[in-house]
């Protein structure tokens, strides 16, 4: 295959743009998608009795939940309703919190 110098020069000028696209994908987009998937899986696996931490730093145990609202017990006779998306950590999750 015989390429003319103009074609080679054109391909060489697109090289840095393609390289930047590949770097962007592997350093920014892919890790963000993996973290988003992990968080979605964690939120979908919440169940009654799990110990959680909210985005505001409140620790509690889930007493009830539905699609959007989670009710957590934070002290004796004290329960609060929070948004399901406010949950940041599931302390009961054995993958994230292995037994010692």
Separation CA 94–CA 15 (nearest Å): 45
Q: Is pLDDT larger for residue 62 or for residue 8?
A: 62
Pull the structure tokens for residue 10: 């054109």
53, HSE (Cβ side, Cα atoms, 13 Å): 9
Separation CA 52–CA 46 (nearest Å): 9
Closest by CA to 73, choosing from 59, 93, 88, is 59
Assign domain 48-92 to its CATH architecture: Roll (2.30)
Give residue 92's pLDDT band: very low, low, confident or very high (50, 70, 90). Answer: confident
Sequence-distant (6+) residues with CB within 8 A of 55 are: 86, 87, 88
For the chain, the structural domain boundaries read 1-45, 48-92
Per residue in 43-91, pLDDT (tens digit) is 999 999 999 999 999 999 999 999 999 999 999 999 999 999 999 999 9
Task: Please state, for a pLDDT cut of 90, what percent of the chain lies above it.
Answer: 73
């Amino acid at each position: 295959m015989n390429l003319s110098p103009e074609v080679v020069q054109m391909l060489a000028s697109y090289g840095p743009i393609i390289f930047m696209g590949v770097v962007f994908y592997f350093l920014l987009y892919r890790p963000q998608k993996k973290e988003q998937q992990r968080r979605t899986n964690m939120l979908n696996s919440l169940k009654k009795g799990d110990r959680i931490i909210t985005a505001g730093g409140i620790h509690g145990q889930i007493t009830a939940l539905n699609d959007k609202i989670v009710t957590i017990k934070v002290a004796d006779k004290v329960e609060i309703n929070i948004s399901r998306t406010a949950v940041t950590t599931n302390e009961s999750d054995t993958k994230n919190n292995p037994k010692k």
